[in-house]
Amino acid sequence: MFKSITSLSLLSTGNANSYLLYPNISIGGDPTIWNDTKQVFLTQTFIYTLHPKFDLLISGGGSYARQEYTNFFTNEYSHKDRIGFDNLWLGFIYTGESFADFIPQITFQTALVQREKALNNTKNFISNRKIYKLVCSDPVLYSIYSGFGYNQARKFKTLKIEYGHSIYVGGDLSIVLSPKITLDLGAEQRFQMKQKINGYQNSEVRSIPTFSLGSTYSINADTAISVNANFGGSSAAPDSVFGLSLWKKF
């Protein structure tokens, strides 16, 4: 079986941070201190079932960003625009034997290519991020999960940036409203470790709690569309992320 997930997301930071959105929210990217960043992400994910218990996962995406700042010399509000390719990821999903009412899944993903910018230097990094995730779920109603994100140091021309590894826990709940519509709720708590630039620590451990609300409509047995909104629960989290996804089985 072959699955396709096409996602369009609009992120508004509401703070000075830059964020990476796939495969999950993390602080990264340009260390410039912005007033606000509004960013549109387009991500395409393919999942191919090699075996009933083993799926191959590949995902790639790009984004457009409007980065807003106050000009130091004129005190005028201004912005910079950026558009381009962001990343290409490869991974797998292993589904274990069910126990009680739960089905366990282990997901591993690595960034084959991650394109990042620091100040005026743009560079492609190979296998610099890795994600490990364990999910226990009832196939229809709810899931709980935890994971670890490995963040390798980035070396630019004049900067060496360590964004910090991350750990997270969360849960999702789907409430069936009708045979075709579900109400989707979620919550996640993420901690991202201290950030360092050229060996000097410039942040503490960041707490990034998020809450999500959405809905999924099943058009038919092979196609569904979902909308969701994520809201940040701390100053280190983005203000909001609005998403629209199309799910298709082949």
Q: What angle do CA 166, 172, 174 make, to 5 degrees?
A: 165
pLDDT tens string 64-76:
999 898 877 777 8
Question: What pLDDT does residue 29 have?
Answer: 66
- Mean residue pLDDT of the chain comes to 92
The CA distance from 80 to 95, in Å, is: 44
- Record the pTM: 0.91
Residues in the chain where the model's pLDDT stays below 50:
none
Tally of domains within the chain: 1
Residues 6+ apart with CB under 8 A from 241: 9, 10, 11, 12, 21, 25, 210, 229, 230
Give the domain range for residue 199.
2-249
CATH number for the domain that contains residue 136: 2.40.128.130
pLDDT tens string 145-180:
999 999 999 999 888 999 999 999 999 999 999 999
Question: What pLDDT does residue 63 have?
Answer: 96
